[in-house]
């Protein structure tokens, strides 16, 4: 066995069906009695229901969580938090709501309970990305790691097929890059392959039968593993590209991951053969990039950055940004090759090994 270092993240995880009923007792266990519930505008109704369920333990609802965690939205949420003298935040939703919760924790050190309703996986990480001035900046700190994560499979049963597919591919991206991370280790590699396999098995089933409880359970479990991988080891080119594209062009987060992933994997294929074998095995394909592309097509995720609203003239700029303050990557970052990668992703072509 090759020597390695593994750091476990100190979160309490509750997984099952109907587990939202345990949020009140988790608040009490944290010593919290005045929770501010967070959601997106789309989830306002669910947020109101949670406030009602918590009764006196909830002191308000902030329902303006926004994609890419804009700093001005965070500042508005903190003003709302101070107005009700909250001592905890409870975030109900996907990556946007989790991002807002983390941004609040970063600034206030208040405890967090996260209740994911998508497969983003960010709830399991000590990583936060915030957007200001048209750029997205990320940092890693235990201050933003939630104290408690409550996974309730029932809350994902109504997730639309399209969002299920893109959110699931976003989660797969975390595990894919964990397999060739600079600080990877065999524990994370095992979790990553298991995560990809669970999601690749579940997503086609769910898209066809959204109420499939076994499929939903597998997908949520795979997403948690993906988040744990993302939080434990460093990410590479794929995540740098997606952060760049999302922050610069305001592209939708999960959809951008879904489009870029096969192309980033093709770029790194020759430099990370062991990782490619694991990915291929997990998705049931001889070629990792082709297998991920085929999985995405089979579940109906977007195929091109053009369809997400990225302007063609932004390709060169995005490539320049990707090699600025670059993340470590198994293959050296070559500007022309990254431009080719982005061109293929913009046009929606199948992944091609970059020159």
List the CATH number of the domain containing 170. 1.20.1090.10
| Same domain for 82 and 194 | no
Kindly indicate the confidence band of residue 4, based on its pLDDT and cuts at 50, 70 and 90: confident
- Is 353 within a domain? no
C-alpha atoms less than 13 angstroms from C-alpha of 307 in its C-beta half-sphere: 14
- Is 5 within a domain? no
Nearest to 167 by CA among 248, 228, 81, 256: 256
What value, to the nearest 5°, has the Cα angle with vertex 20 and ends 55 and 166? 125
Kindly indicate the confidence band of residue 6, based on its pLDDT and cuts at 50, 70 and 90: confident
pLDDT at 226 over 70: yes
Kindly indicate the confidence band of residue 247, based on its pLDDT and cuts at 50, 70 and 90: confident
| Same domain for 111 and 66 | yes
Number of folded domains in the chain? 2
List the domain range (segments joined by +) for residue 166: 161-347
What value, to the nearest 5°, has the Cα angle with vertex 198 and ends 237 and 273? 40
- Quote the pLDDT of residue 2: 76
Q: Which of 125, 156, 187 is the last residue of a domain?
A: 156
- Is 352 within a domain? no
Give yes or no for a contact between 223 and 170, defined as CB atoms under 8 angstroms apart: no
Q: How far apart are CA 335 and CA 318, in angstroms?
A: 10
Model pTM greater than 0.85? yes
Kindly indicate the confidence band of residue 354, based on its pLDDT and cuts at 50, 70 and 90: low
**Mean pLDDT calculated for residue range 131-158:** 93
- Is 205 within a domain? yes
The better pLDDT of the pair 355, 165 is held by 165
| Same domain for 238 and 91 | no
pLDDT at 104 over 70: yes
Q: How far apart are CA 222 and CA 215, in angstroms?
A: 10
| Same domain for 193 and 80 | no
- Classify 311 as helix, strand or coil: coil
| Same domain for 107 and 34 | yes
């Amino acid at each position: 066995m090759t020597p390695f270092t593994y750091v476990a993240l100190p979160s309490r995880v509750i997984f099952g069906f109907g587990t939202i009923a345990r949020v009140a007792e988790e608040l009490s266990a944290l010593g919290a009695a005045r929770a501010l519930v967070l959601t997106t505008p789309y989830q306002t109704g669910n947020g109101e229901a949670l406030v009602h369920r918590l009764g006196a333990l909830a002191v308000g609802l902030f329902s303006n969580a926004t994609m890419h965690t804009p700093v001005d939205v965070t500042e508005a949420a903190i003003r709302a938090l101070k107005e009700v003298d909250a001592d905890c935040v409870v975030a109900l939703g996907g990556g946007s709501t989790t991002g807002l919760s983390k941004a609040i924790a970063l600034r206030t050190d208040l405890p967090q309970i996260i209740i994911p309703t998508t497969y983003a996986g960010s709830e399991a990480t000590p990583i936060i990305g915030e957007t200001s001035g048209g750029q997205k900046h990320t940092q890693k700190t235990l201050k933003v790691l939630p104290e408690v994560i409550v996974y309730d499979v029932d809350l994902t049963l109504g997730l639309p097929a399209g969002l299920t597919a893109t959110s699931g591919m976003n989660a797969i991206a975390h595990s894919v890059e964990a397999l060739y991370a600079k600080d990877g280790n065999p524990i994370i590699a095992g979790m990553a392959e298991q995560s990809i396999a669970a999601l690749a098995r579940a997503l086609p089933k769910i898209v066809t039968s959204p109420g499939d409880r076994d499929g939903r359970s597998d997908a949520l479990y795979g997403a948690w593993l993906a988040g744990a991988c993302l939080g434990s080891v460093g990410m590479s080119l794929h995540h740098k590209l997606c952060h760049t594209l999302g922050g610069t062009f305001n592209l939708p987060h999960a959809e951008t991951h879904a489009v870029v992933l096969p192309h980033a994997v093709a770029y790194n294929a020759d430099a990370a053969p062991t990782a490619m074998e694991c990915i291929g095995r997990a998705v049931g394909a001889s070629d990792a990039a082709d297998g991920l592309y085929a999985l995405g097509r089979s579940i109906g995720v977007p195929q091109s950055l053009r369809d997400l609203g990225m302007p063609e003239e932004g390709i060169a700029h995005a490539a320049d940004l990707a090699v600025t303050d670059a993340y470590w990557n198994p293959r050296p970052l070559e500007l022309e090759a990254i431009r080719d990668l982005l061109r293929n992703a913009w046009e929606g072509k199948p992944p091609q090994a970059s020159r």
